Structure 1
Amino acid sequence: MTDTIPLDSNWIAANPPPVHGNGTTKNSRGRVLAIGGSAMVPGALRLTGEAALRVGAGKLQMATIASVAIGLGLVVPEAGVLALPEDSDGEIAGGAGPLLETSLNGCDTLVIGPGMGSAGAAKALLDIVLNQRCDEVTLVIDALAIGSARDLRDALVAFDGRMVFTPHHGEMAMLTGLDEDAVAKSPEKVARDVAVQYGAVVVLKGSDTVIAAPDGTTLHYGGGGTGLATGGSGDVLAGAIGGLMSRGASPIIAAGWGVWLHGQSGRRVATTKGPIGFLAREVPAEFPRLLPQ
């Protein structure tokens, strides 16, 4: 059996993210495109996008339903926004492909899924992305988009080795067809199996987090405290991982650092705000203090 490695200060010291020296531009520091959101959760991409910027990504574009795009751009003035068609349920509608083509060709990392409330809409959006040419793009699949990956496994081969899944136990159950109890009983095995099947790094979230890579590497993080069990926390984590990947970190390094930054930042916020009741949007501000210079 593959040994599980603690995701601790020793691992962090031994596996640094890329460092950008003199002459770095915002383009060379990484370009992130985050796609998602809905009328019910219009602010999810704010959390994802801010996290990507706080881990050092140089440029951010957020693509969401037209009715909230301008408002999203106002709360994250550092980002560009792209307004996508909206269906009657307030989800991203079909026909977004031509609008996304330029943005997909101009990004280094795509984060897809945060804030979407319909599995059908998430699957249609992921299908659109997989029909575009994204030869150099790295991919983070989050939230309901994870479950839809089950029906698009053959197409996802194009991202083999360039992809991270960020499921909680319920989303992992959707992806694998297992029930949540089975996922909870054997999280390391389930994460490893999915990593091999999809050629992806899997971040299986919970009170403890398991990270599994296709080569069998498995990391374990003991958790950042119960305060992180709050709405929007997963959106922040997806953005942190995506931002690190855009800077050139490998999927396993980006996943490990993203989980560690998320957890350690949660602990820091808890010391000033209290152990429970702080907000997910308060976590990314701690990231720059923990990143190497």
Structure 2
Amino acid sequence: MIALDTAWGTAHPLPPPQEGTDKNERGRVLTVGGSTTVPGALLLTGEAALRAGAGKIQLATVSTAALGLGLRFPEAAVYALAINADGELAAGNAREIVHWMTLNDALVLGPGTSQKADGADLIAEIARSGAKMPLLLDAAMLHFLPRVVEEIVAYSGPKILTPHPGEMATLMNCAPEDICCELTEAAAARFNATVVLKSSCTWIATPGQPSVLYDQGSPGLATAGSGDVLAGIIGGLLARQVPAHEAAAWGVWVHGEAGRKLAEEVGVLGFLAREILPLVPSLLRYE
């Protein structure tokens, strides 16, 4: 077990920005999610991806939220998706999502969704698409994974799963209080993915890599939207071609350190997820 701290960051610097690159070369992130009840989640995820250095962001969300999201987020391209009877993403959107994947460098799937989305069908279609881009699965999409284990294991691109204890309990058929490093490693092996188990201590496990522990966060990070921000930071780094294990660890560290700063400046509790976003760029370290 390796501690995720400043020494780790010094030993694993991010690739430096290149002079003369354009926004496409800096990385393009496709974020898919949202619902009629959580229409703003992708705003947090998308901005976090840009704050992490990605050059372009495309948001695909339920049709009822698309226009408002686009007006609120002028830096993003926004696509409207069909909804099912519960106001969640419908299975019929898979073909469009797969097409948009060809125009991007990383996919973040799930922020703002619930278990009423047609998640299993969407994940299966994406996994069978032949795409090799990095894929991050978050929020309710994690609940569908036990139904599509074979498909997600067979997906040949890098994969990151970001469960909290309740979602990990679904993934591994265990109790939420059973969270530990060994469980994170077992989930990583089962799904052939990098797994970020989010809690007061956050474990990061990837098959074939030393596991990492971050235990310096603030309890204030346990707030609505915080996970959406974390997913976006990691997605932005993935689009910049940072390997999955390092992208996950850097995302967790930046997210946690931003929480520590806000705890000092605002209060241990009461800061908002959106207040993490402006702190992200200054916490990233380059060669």
Deviation at 1:120, TM superposition (A): 4.8
Secondary structure of 2:92's partner? coil
Q: Which residue of 2 aligns with 1:206?
A: 199
Deviation at 1:292, TM superposition (A): 2.7
**In the alignment, residue 227 of structure 1 is paired with which amino acid?**
G
Check if 1:149 corresponds to 2:106: no
Deviation at 1:93, TM superposition (A): 1.3
1:75-129 Cα shifts (integer Å, max 9, x gaps): 1111101100012211011211232233111111100111101255222322232
1:161-202 Cα shifts (integer Å, max 9, x gaps): 60111000100011111121223xxx1000001111222111
Q: Which residue of 1 aligns with 2:258?
A: 265
Residues 50-199 of structure 1: pairs in structure 2 closer than 5 A: 50-135=47-132, 137-160=133-156, 162-183=158-179, 187-199=180-192
Q: How many percent of aligned residue pairs carry the same amino acid?
A: 44
Deviation at 1:23, TM superposition (A): 2.0
Check if 1:255 corresponds to 2:248: yes
**In the alignment, residue 22 of structure 1 is paired with which amino acid?**
E
Gapped regions of structure 2 (runs ≥ 5) = none
Check if 1:222 corresponds to 2:215: yes
Deviation at 1:160, TM superposition (A): 4.7
Q: Is residue 196–residue 215 contact of structure 1 (8 Å, CA) maintained in 2?
A: no
Secondary structure of 2:269's partner? coil
Q: Which residue of 2 aligns with 1:240?
A: 233
From 13, 20, 26, the equivalent of 1:23 is 20
Q: Is residue 105–residue 133 contact of structure 1 (8 Å, CA) maintained in 2?
A: no
Q: Which residue of 2 aligns with 1:292?
A: 285
Gapped regions of structure 1 (runs ≥ 5) = none
Check if 1:10 corresponds to 2:3: no
**In the alignment, residue 194 of structure 2 is paired with which amino acid?**
V
**In the alignment, residue 93 of structure 1 is paired with which amino acid?**
A
Q: Is residue 127–residue 155 contact of structure 2 (8 Å, CA) maintained in 1?
A: no
Secondary structure of 2:29's partner? strand
Q: Is residue 86–residue 117 contact of structure 2 (8 Å, CA) maintained in 1?
A: no
Tell me: CA distance 1:49–1:43, structure 2 relative to 1, closer, same or farther (3 Å): same
1:11-48 Cα shifts (integer Å, max 9, x gaps): 01110122221121111111100101101111111111
Q: Is residue 32–residue 60 contact of structure 2 (8 Å, CA) maintained in 1?
A: yes
Secondary structure of 1:60's partner? strand
**In the alignment, residue 147 of structure 2 is paired with which amino acid?**
D
Secondary structure of 2:91's partner? coil
Secondary structure of 1:96's partner? helix
**In the alignment, residue 271 of structure 1 is paired with which amino acid?**
E
CA root-mean-square deviation: 1.4
Secondary structure of 2:7's partner? helix
Please identify, of 13-22 and 203-212, the stretch whose mean Cα deviation from structure 2 is larger: 13-22
**Aligned equivalents of 2:155, 2:254: Cα separation in 1:** 25
**Aligned equivalents of 2:107, 2:116: Cα separation in 1:** 19
**In the alignment, residue 52 of structure 2 is paired with which amino acid?**
V
Q: Is residue 130–residue 155 contact of structure 2 (8 Å, CA) maintained in 1?
A: no
